């Protein structure tokens, strides 16, 4: 995993993407007991093309040039399947901008804050997201006033009420 994070940092320094942070189940493991996951979800801020579109092609090209191969919707970087997910809405953009720097196996990386991970779960709305949000609540890994401000900004209060009944 250490080398995978180093490659992500190299891509960011090379301006392949503007910023990245770990999210999803792997992001949650920075706050909770490990969860079963098969890939590393990496949210990225992309540079728009001349036509204003967002494309993952520069990431795949840069990784291919470094010898890493696509595996379905992931790229295997040093044996770790990495799925790149563009920040496609204001919640994800905010989450990336406020991601926490942390040290993992000697490499600096960024991880979405637990409150943003919960908000993304609410927005996504799958059963496994609901379970992850429950774990965050039960294990007390949330700054509730900060979470409330995120939920208000992104109109997720009603979903939170439904999930916390």
pLDDT in tens, 65-100: 999 999 989 999 999 999 999 999 999 999 999 999
Class of the domain covering 2-163: alpha beta
Q: What is the pLDDT of residue 160?
A: 97
**Strand, helix or coil at 8?**
helix
Q: What is the pLDDT of residue 41?
A: 96
Rounded Cα gap, residues 134 and 163, in angstroms? 8
pLDDT in tens, 2-58: 999 999 999 999 999 999 999 999 999 999 987 777 899 999 999 777 787 888 999
User: Rounded to a whole number, what is the largest CA-CA distance in the chain?
Assistant: 50
Q: What is the pLDDT of residue 49?
A: 74
Q: What is the pLDDT of residue 148?
A: 98
Q: What is the pLDDT of residue 119?
A: 98
Query: Could you tell me which residues come within 8 angstroms of residue 90 by beta carbon, excluding any fewer than 6 positions away?
Result: 153, 154
| Domain chopping of the chain, boundaries | 2-163
Give rounded-to-5 percent helix, strand, coil for the chain: 45, 20, 35
Q: pTM of the predicted model, to two decimals?
A: 0.92
| Residues listed for the chain | 165
Q: What is the pLDDT of residue 50?
A: 76
> Are 117 and 92 a contacting pair, CB within 8 Å?
no
């Amino acid at each position: 995993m250490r080398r995978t994070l180093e490659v992500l940092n190299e891509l960011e320094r090379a301006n392949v993407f503007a910023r990245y942070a770990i999210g999803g189940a792997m992001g949650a493991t920075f706050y909770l007991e490990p969860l079963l996951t098969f890939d590393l979800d990496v949210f990225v801020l992309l540079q728009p093309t001349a036509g204003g579109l967002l494309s993952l092609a520069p990431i795949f090209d840069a990784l291919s040039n470094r010898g890493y191969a696509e595996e379905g919707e992931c790229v295997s970087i040093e044996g770790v399947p990495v799925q790149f997910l563009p920040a496609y809405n204001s919640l994800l953009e905010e989450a990336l901008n406020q991601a926490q720097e942390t040290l993992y196996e000697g490499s600096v990386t960024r991880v979405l804050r637990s409150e943003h991970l919960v908000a993304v779960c609410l927005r996504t709305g799958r059963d496994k997201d609901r379970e992850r949000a429950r774990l965050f609540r039960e294990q007390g890994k949330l700054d509730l006033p900060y979470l409330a401000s995120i939920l208000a900004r992104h109109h997720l209060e009603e979903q939170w009420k439904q999930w916390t009944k």
